[in-house]
Amino acid sequence: MLKIVSYIDAGSGSYLLAAIASGAAGTWFFLRSKFADLRGRGAKKTELTPDSTTSE
């Protein structure tokens, strides 16, 4: 059976750590915003209405 030895140098390790941390943070904020929308605490979506004061 082959034994595989892995080596990650400092540059690759910090890149992988940053990618994992940013993915976890992005997932956390995405889930938090979706749960806020479900509870009714999210940003309200406003409808765009034409402005009657401007003329073309």
Tokens of residue 39, six digits: 């509870």
pLDDT attached to residue 36: 87
What's the pLDDT tens digit per position in 15-25?
999 999 999 99
The span from the CA of 28 to the CA of 36, in Å, is 12
pLDDT attached to residue 51: 63
- Tell me the three state secondary structure of residue 17: helix
What's the pLDDT tens digit per position in 1-56?
667 777 888 888 899 999 999 999 999 999 999 988 888 876 666 656 666 566 55
Sequence-separated contacts (24+) of 22-31 with Cβ below 8 Å: none
pLDDT attached to residue 9: 86
pLDDT attached to residue 42: 60
- Compute how many other C-beta atoms are within 10 angstroms of the C-beta atom of residue 42: 13
